[in-house]
C-alpha cells in the first residue's frame, strides 16, 4: 500500500484524486491484486475522528491533516462499455434523440439501441453483439456527445444487470473524457505563470533595458513616431488582445513605463462587453442553438472559401425547346404517374456535359487530381436544419423519368432527416437551383472536395433578337458556374459551360 500512500500524500487540498490514476498504479504494481476484482476506486476526504470511518467497505489512512477513505467497488461483474459511434465520415459528435431499449432489455446483433442525430441526418444506432443493457449513462436529449464517449454498459448475463442499478454513471463518463481534460489545468497554470512573470517585472528592469543616453538623446519627433507605431505590452497581454479582437493600442496601460498588462486587456474587454450588452438589451432577439448539421455546413463552407480559389462563369440559355419537350412528355403521363421538372433536365444536361468534358468531373487531392469515370450529381435540397446534397448516382446513364422519381424520393427523405450516408456523401458535381424562389442569378460556393458547382436562376421571358433582325420574346435561364482554378482552368470551364448551354438549348443533344 505504500504506492497508494504516496499518491494520497500528493493529493490536493480537498484530498481528491481521479480513479484512473489509482487504478493505473494497481495495474502497474509489482504485487498483483488477483484476489480482488477492482472495478473502480473512489478517494474521498473524511472529517472527524478515525473511529467514524471504520466501516467494512472502506480503508482509512492518514495523509497530512486530512483523513482519506479508499472505498472499493468490488465484485462488479464483467461488462463492456458502449461508446458513441461514428455514423458518418464527417461526424465529430452526435445528439441522443431517444433510446429504443431500456435498462434490462436483451440485445441482439442488428437491434436498434438508439436514434442518433449526426451532422447530416438522424441515424439508427445498431447493436453488434448479444447481451443485456445494464446501464444507460447518457439520457435522451443529451447533445454534442463526442465520438468514443461512453453512452451505455452491456453485460453478458441477465442476472448481472442488477449489479449496475445503483452505480454512478459519472465514474464511467470520466474515464472516457480523462484524456482531453487532463491537459487543461496544465495549460491554465502555464498561462497564469506567464502572466505573473510578465506583470511582476520590476520597473528597474524595464529602465535598465534602455540606456539613459538613448532615452534623452532621441529627438522628440522620433519618440512620437515610435509611440504611434508601437505599443509596449506583455506577450500575454498581446495574446489576450488578439483572442478577444481588441485593438491593443487603444487599451489604457497601468504597467511600468506605460506597459499594457493582461489585466488592462481583460478590463477593456469587460467594459466592451458591458457596453455591448447595454446596447443589445434594448432589442428583442432569440439565440438559436446550432444543430450538428448547421455546424458542419459552416465549417465546410468556410473551408471552401478560404482554401479553394474560386472563379465564376455565367451564361444565359434559351429554353423554349426544352419547355416544349417537357410539356409534351408530361402530357403523356397517365394519371400523373410522373412529372418532369426543369431541374430534372438540368441534372441530365450536367451529367452529359461532364461526360463530354471529363476534366470538370474531378477533384483536388493535394498531390494529384482525381478524375472520375462515373457521374454522380449532388443536388442541393433545403431542409429545416440547412442545405444537404443528396446524390443522383450514374446520372449520365439514367433517363429523365428515372432522375425525376429518384430526386423526389431523395428530397423527401432529406426533409424528413432520413438520408443514409451513402445517399449524400460523395458526388462529383453539384447543382444548386434557386429559380423557384425567383432568384435571377447567383454564385454558389463549391462543395469540397468537388471542383465545380452550377448555380441556376429562374426562367423568365426576355426580349431577344430574331434571325432577320426582328425582335422576339423567348424564355431564358441564367446559370453561373463556380470552378476550382486548381483543377479546372478557365478555358476548360468555358468549354464545359458552352457544352451545357448547347444541350439545354437543344435537348435532343441529351440523347447523342
pLDDT in tens, 134-161: 888 888 888 888 888 888 888 888 888 8
Q: Which residues contact 285 (CB under 8 A, 6 or more apart)?
A: none
> What separation in angstroms does the CA of 303 have from each of 75, 201, 298, 300, 446?
51, 42, 8, 5, 10
Q: What is the pLDDT of residue 231?
A: 67
pLDDT band, residue 282 (cuts 50/70/90): low
The span from the CA of 39 to the CA of 14, in Å, is: 23
Q: What is the pLDDT of residue 409?
A: 94
Q: Does residue 62 have a pLDDT over 70?
A: no
Among 37-46, 116-125, 330-339, 428-437, the range scoring the smallest mean pLDDT is 37-46
Choose the catalytic residue: 402, 467, 485, 502: 485
pLDDT band, residue 271 (cuts 50/70/90): low
In tens, the pLDDT along 212-244 reads: 444 443 444 444 444 444 567 877 777 777 777
Q: What is the pLDDT of residue 434?
A: 95
- The pTM score is 0.55
Please state, rounded to an integer, the average pLDDT across all residues of the chain: 75
Q: Does residue 89 have a pLDDT over 80?
A: no
In tens, the pLDDT along 14-60 reads: 334 444 455 555 545 544 443 334 433 334 333 333 333 333 233 33
Q: Do you know the residue count of the chain? A: 512
- Do residues 161 and 155 lie in contact, with contact meaning Cβ atoms separated by under 8 Å? yes
Q: What is the pLDDT of residue 297?
A: 85
Place of cell 441530365: 348
Choose the catalytic residue: 98, 440, 489, 502: 489
Beta-carbon count within 10 A of 470 CB: 7
Bigger pLDDT: 324 or 63?
Answer: 324
Residue 344 among the catalytic residues:
no
Among 90-99, 165-174, 274-283, 452-461, the range scoring the smallest mean pLDDT is 274-283
In tens, the pLDDT along 206-215 reads: 344 344 444 4
Bigger pLDDT: 508 or 309?
Answer: 309
Burial class (CB in 10 A: 0-12, 13-18, 19+), 318: middle
In tens, the pLDDT along 468-478 reads: 778 889 999 99
Question: Average pLDDT for residues 429-456, to the nearest whole number?
Answer: 95
Classify the C-alpha dihedral 8-9-15-17 as positive or negative.
Answer: negative
Residue among 505, 502, 506 nearest 353 (CA): 502
Residue 119 among the catalytic residues:
no
Burial class (CB in 10 A: 0-12, 13-18, 19+), 414: buried
Bigger pLDDT: 410 or 63?
Answer: 410
Domains of the chain: 2-74 (no CATH), 80-177 (2.40.50.100), 231-273 (4.10.320.10), 293-511 (3.30.559.10)
Question: Average pLDDT for residues 485-508, to the nearest whole number?
Answer: 95
Bigger pLDDT: 100 or 122?
Answer: 100
Question: Average pLDDT for residues 271-295, to the nearest whole number?
Answer: 67
Residue among 105, 101, 164 nearest 132 (CA): 105
Classify the C-alpha dihedral 279-282-283-288 as positive or negative.
Answer: positive
Among 193-207, 259-273, 309-323, 337-351, the range scoring the smallest mean pLDDT is 193-207
pLDDT band, residue 265 (cuts 50/70/90): confident
Q: What is the pLDDT of residue 437?
A: 92
Residue among 380, 379, 391, 383 nearest 293 (CA): 383
Q: What is the pLDDT of residue 512?
A: 65
Beta-carbon count within 10 A of 49 CB: 9
| Grid cell for residue 314 | 455565367
Q: Does residue 272 have a pLDDT over 70?
A: no
Q: Does residue 352 have a pLDDT over 70?
A: yes
Question: Average pLDDT for residues 475-483, to the nearest whole number?
Answer: 96
Q: What is the pLDDT of residue 386?
A: 82
Amino acid at each position: 500500500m505504500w504506492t497508494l500512500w504516496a499518491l494520497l500524500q500528493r493529493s490536493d487540498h480537498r484530498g481528491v484524486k481521479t480513479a484512473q490514476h489509482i487504478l493505473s498504479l494497481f495495474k502497474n504494481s509489482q504485487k498483483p491484486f488477483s484476489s480482488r476484482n477492482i472495478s473502480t476506486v473512489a478517494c474521498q476526504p473524511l472529517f472527524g475522528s478515525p473511529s467514524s470511518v471504520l466501516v467494512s467497505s472502506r480503508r482509512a489512512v492518514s495523509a497530512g491533516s486530512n483523513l482519506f477513505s479508499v472505498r472499493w467497488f468490488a465484485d462488479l461483474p464483467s461488462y463492456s462499455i458502449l461508446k458513441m459511434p461514428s455514423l458518418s465520415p464527417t461526424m465529430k459528435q452526435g445528439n441522443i434523440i431517444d433510446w429504443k431499449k431500456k435498462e434490462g432489455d436483451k440485445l441482439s446483433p442488428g437491434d436498434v439501441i438508439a436514434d442518433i442525430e449526426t451532422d447530416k441526418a438522424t441515424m439508427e444506432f445498431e447493436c453488434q453483439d448479444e447481451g443485456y443493457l445494464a446501464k444507460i449513462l447518457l439520457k435522451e436529449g443529451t447533445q454534442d456527445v463526442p465520438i468514443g464517449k461512453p453512452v451505455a454498459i452491456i453485460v453478458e448475463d441477465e442476472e448481472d444487470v442488477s449489479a449496475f442499478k445503483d452505480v454512478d454513471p459519472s465514474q464511467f463518463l470520466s474515464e472516457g473524457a480523462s484524456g482531453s481534460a487532463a491537459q487543461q489545468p496544465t495549460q491554465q497554470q502555464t498561462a497564469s505563470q506567464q502572466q505573473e512573470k510578465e506583470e511582476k517585472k520590476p520597473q528597474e528592469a524595464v529602465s535598465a533595458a534602455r540606456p539613459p543616453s538613448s532615452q534623452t538623446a532621441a529627438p522628440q519627433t522620433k519618440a512620437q513616431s515610435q509611440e504611434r507605431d508601437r505599443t509596449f505590452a506583455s506577450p500575454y497581454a498581446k495574446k489576450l488582445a488578439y483572442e478577444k479582437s481588441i485593438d491593443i493600442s487603444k487599451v489604457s496601460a497601468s504597467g511600468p513605463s506605460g506597459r499594457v498588462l493582461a489585466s488592462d486587456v481583460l478590463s477593456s474587454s469587460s467594459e466592451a462587453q458591458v457596453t455591448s450588452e447595454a446596447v443589445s438589451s434594448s432589442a428583442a432577439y432569440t439565440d438559436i442553438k446550432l444543430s450538428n448539421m448547421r455546424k458542419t455546413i459552416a465549417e465546410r463552407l468556410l473551408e471552401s472559401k478560404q482554401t479553394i480559389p474560386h472563379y465564376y462563369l455565367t451564361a444565359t440559355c434559351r429554353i423554349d425547346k426544352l419547355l416544349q419537350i417537357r410539356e409534351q412528355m408530361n402530357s403523356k403521363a397517365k394519371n400523373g404517374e410522373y412529372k418532369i421538372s426543369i431541374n430534372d433536365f438540368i441534372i441530365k444536361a450536367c451529367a452529359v456535359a461532364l461526360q463530354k468534358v471529363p476534366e470538370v468531373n474531378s477533384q483536388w487531392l493535394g498531390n494529384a487530381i482525381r478524375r472520375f469515370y462515373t457521374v454522380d450529381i449532388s443536388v442541393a435540397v433545403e431542409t429545416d436544419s440547412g442545405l444537404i446534397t443528396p446524390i443522383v448516382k450514374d446520372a449520365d446513364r439514367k433517363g429523365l423519368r428515372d432522375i425525376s422519381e429518384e430526386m423526389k424520393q431523395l428530397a423527401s427523405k432529406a426533409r424528413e432527416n432520413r438520408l443514409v450516408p451513402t445517399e449524400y456523401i460523395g458526388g462529383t458535381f453539384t447543382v444548386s437551383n434557386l429559380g423557384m424562389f425567383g432568384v435571377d442569378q447567383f454564385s454558389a460556393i463549391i462543395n469540397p472536395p468537388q471542383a465545380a458547382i452550377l448555380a441556376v436562376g429562374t426562367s423568365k421571358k426576355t426580349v431577344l433578337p430574331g434571325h432577320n433582325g426582328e425582335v422576339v420574346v423567348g424564355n431564358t435561364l441564367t446559370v453561373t458556374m463556380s470552378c476550382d482554378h486548381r483543377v479546372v482552368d478557365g478555358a476548360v470551364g468555358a468549354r464545359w459551360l458552352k457544352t451545357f448551354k448547347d444541350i439545354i438549348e437543344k435537348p435532343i443533344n441529351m440523347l447523342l
